[in-house]
Amino acid sequence: MSLTFYWYPKCGTCKKAKKFLDDHHIAYESIHIVENTPSKDELLELIQKSGLPAKKFFNTSGKKYREGNVKEKIAGASDEEMAEILATDGMLIKRPITTDGQKVTVGFKEDDFAKTWLQEN
């Protein structure tokens, strides 16, 4: 199993998630989420596969989210509209996003990571 790991290297949560993957010898390709922000279509696919509402993909504690009044912009927005907003700036995206092409996790909670990524596929 090889994962795609969208992260921001200065993010503490991302560092914890990366350490978890490394400690458990889980192979992954890391993608800098700001330098290589996923496209609207990639984000829509991740949202759909995650089973989570699109709003869960926003970094609500981030400076850009707060300063850009994104909360108001996404109120009542469709998944497609939210993916379009997310694709404009990697700093708006909650991180890390981890996927094997089928399953998707957003953020890092050790228990969720263990349940999702330590299972044999």
Task: Report the pLDDT value the prediction gives residue 107, as an integer from 0 to 100.
Answer: 97
Task: Report the pLDDT value the prediction gives residue 119, as an integer from 0 to 100.
Answer: 72
State mean pLDDT over 32-57: 97
H or E, element range at 28: strand 27-32
Task: Report the pLDDT value the prediction gives residue 21, as an integer from 0 to 100.
Answer: 97
pLDDT per position as a tens digit, 11-36: 999 999 999 999 999 999 999 999 99
pLDDT per position as a tens digit, 68-81: 999 999 999 999 99
Pick the CATH number of 2-117 from 1.10.287.3510, 1.20.1250.20, 3.40.30.10, 3.40.50.9100: 3.40.30.10
Task: Report the pLDDT value the prediction gives residue 120, as an integer from 0 to 100.
Answer: 52
State mean pLDDT over 95-102: 97
For helices 40-50 and 79-86, angle between their N-to-C axes, nearest 10 degrees: 130
Tokens of 18: 């990366």
> Where are the chain's structural domains?
2-117
Q: Is the pLDDT of residue 64 over 90?
A: yes
Q: Is the pLDDT of residue 121 over 80?
A: no
